[in-house]
Amino acid sequence: MLKERLEKNLNKQINKELFSAYLYMSMGAYFQSANLLGFANWMHIQAQEEMQHAQKFYNYINERGARVILEQIEKPKTEWASNLNAFEEALAHEEFITNSINELVNIALEEKDHATNIFLQWFVTEQVEEEASVTEIINKLKLMKDAPGGIFMLDRELAQRQLNIQQTAQ
């Protein structure tokens, strides 16, 4: 059985992952409206991955005999100042999620819940990858400084991203 403190914070994480999906869907819609369909594709895939993350927490809470409680999801922004600004905000959001995962690990260790600690390690590794992939795009956008040729090439590259189906059953 999960300790109440962990149950509460794991439930909060479901909400954060669902908000992440919502945020990236909103960024996808922003890029879609600018006819940057590759950028939009990248965001749509990112949103689906976030749904998978939420599902992992959902399954884990159930598996431990605790109760999933879904809360209201905050409204995401709909406009950004530039392509670069949207990705910079995506990175800031991922850093926020990384801190949240790290805090969950701290709580699991404090509560001596080793199973939850092991479950969370997947997310610790995933966050390194999440931050790295967004940073790579930010670096490319900074290099090209909105040069149309560069944006066109990057849009084609981001159109290649495909959903990586993750094992959500724990």
Contact footprint for ligand FEO (CB under 6 A): 17, 20, 50, 53, 94, 97, 130
Q: Which uninterrupted H or E stretch holds 102? A: helix 83-110
Query: 48 or 117, CB closer to ligand FEO?
Result: 48
Q: How far is the CB of 70 from ligand FEO (least distance, A)?
A: 16
Rama region for 65: left / alpha / beta (φ>0; ψ in -120 to 50; rest): left
Tokens representing 43 are 């965001």
Q: How far is the CB of 54 from ligand FEO (least distance, A)?
A: 8
Tokens representing 1 are 């059985």
Query: 3 or 89, CB closer to ligand FEO?
Result: 89
Q: How far is the CB of 112 from ligand FEO (least distance, A)?
A: 26
**Residue with the CB atom nearest ligand FEO in the bound state:** 53
Going by C-beta distance under 8 Å and a sequence separation of 6 or more, which residues neighbour residue 87?
Answer: 134, 137, 138, 141
Query: 11 or 151, CB closer to ligand FEO?
Result: 11
Q: How far is the CB of 146 from ligand FEO (least distance, A)?
A: 26
- Torsion, Cα 138 140 143 146, to 10 degrees, reads -80
